[in-house]
Structures are given as structure tokens and as C-alpha cells.
Amino acid sequence: MQATSTASAFHTFLDYLNVPVQGIIVPQKVYTSHTLVTSSPREPIRFSSQGGAGVNLQSVITSNFHGLANGEQHTPPPDNNGTLAICIHWPGYSPYQKAIPLNKITGKLTYRMLALITAKAIQQWMLEVHRHNIQSTEPNADWSIGSVKFESLWLLELRQISTGLWQPVLFRDI
């Protein structure tokens, strides 16, 4: 799976012209960190299942990894600081960041574990938006969390923003 880089302020389908994405890329703003990156960002950690790009978040949560390719393969450690922060900048909502300690993981981090950690962080954020009745400022109501079902979301990749900070690139079933 080879993604292209558009250096845009949003994650869009233009980043994935050569990748068979079966949905619409969530047009998240590229999360910007206040922490300076002292080195080049690492290669994105990409997910695929059953020959296609991405893994369905609901399948991951229910431990039905829906043919996750390389699920038991070890991922390069996201960073060496013992914490992984998932950053979400969903259209119409304030940026969200969830720090996840990795020190309780026994053994090496696998694609399966990383997908599950990410899916749980996204699900928790969506539940918080619902619970606190946070309204979207996005003019396109299709991207309101009330209009998007968790079951329709797929994790395509994690992109490093800075040391320890990773942003999931998601797409929505069509």
C-alpha cells in the first residue's frame, strides 16, 4: 500500500490515489503539535485487511479483526517514551488527544494491539462527544458525530505528528 503525500492541511483522498480505499477519507485537519519534531516524522503505520486498505474499528473492538493483515506482526514501537498519544481533529470539533500508557503491554506491540488501542481511543472520544452533547461547528452535517456511526469507520493508518503523538487517518464506509 503506497500513499502519496500532498502536504495539505487536511487528510484527503488525494493522499491515497494509489490505494484502494472503499470509502470517504474523514477530512480531519492535520493535527499540529506544539512540540517541535527534532527529526523527520517516521513512516506511517498502515493497516490493511482482506486485501483492502484499512481495518474496521467495530471489528477491532469486538476482537473480530476481520482479516487484519500482519495482525500478530510486531510494529516498530511508536516511540520510546512508554506512552502513545492518539490525536483526533475531526471536522467541526476541537482537537482531542488521548495518552495511552504502553508499559502494561507484555511483549512487543503488534498491529492487532495498536489497532485495538486506537479504536478504543476513537470510540471513547465519540462517546464523550455524545455524552456531553458537544455540537459540531462543521457546516456539512454529514460529518457531525451524530451522523457518523462508529461501525462505519475504518483505520487506514497512524501518522506521526511528533514524538509520541500519532494521528489516525480514517475513512467512512460508503
**What's the grid cell of residue 123?**
470510540
Q: Is residue 111 part of a domain?
A: yes
How many other β-carbons are positioned within 10 Å of the β-carbon of residue 112?
A: 19
Q: What is the pLDDT confidence band of residue 5, given thresholds at 50, 70 and 90?
A: very low
CA distance from start to end of the chain: 20
Q: Across the chain, what does the average pLDDT equal?
A: 79
Examine the pLDDT at 110 and tell me if it is beyond 60.
yes
Q: What is the pLDDT confidence band of residue 66, given thresholds at 50, 70 and 90?
A: low
Q: What is the pLDDT confidence band of residue 15, given thresholds at 50, 70 and 90?
A: low
**Whole-model pTM?**
0.82
Q: Is residue 168 part of a domain?
A: yes
Q: pLDDT tens-digit profile of 40-63?
A: 677 888 888 876 888 999 989 988
**What's the grid cell of residue 87?**
490525536
CB-count burial class (<10 Å; 0-12, 13-18, 19+) for 12 = middle
Q: Is residue 68 part of a domain?
A: yes
**What's the grid cell of residue 26?**
474523514
Q: How many domains does one find in the chain?
A: 1
Q: Is residue 67 part of a domain?
A: yes
Q: Is residue 169 part of a domain?
A: yes
* Domain containing residue 114: 13-32+51-173
Q: Is residue 37 part of a domain?
A: no
Region at 63 (left for phi over 0; alpha for psi -120 to 50; beta for the rest): left
Q: Is residue 164 part of a domain?
A: yes
Q: Is residue 116 part of a domain?
A: yes
Task: Give pLDDT, residue 9.
Answer: 59
Q: pLDDT tens-digit profile of 128-150?
A: 999 999 999 988 888 899 999 99
Across 146-155, b (16+ Cβ under 10 Å) vs e yields eebeeebbbb
User: What DSSP string describes 115-147?
Assistant: HHHHHHHHHHHHHHHHHTTPPP--S-GGGSTTT
- Which one has a higher pLDDT value, 139 or 79? 139
Task: Give pLDDT, residue 14.
Answer: 47
- Which one has a higher pLDDT value, 131 or 164? 131
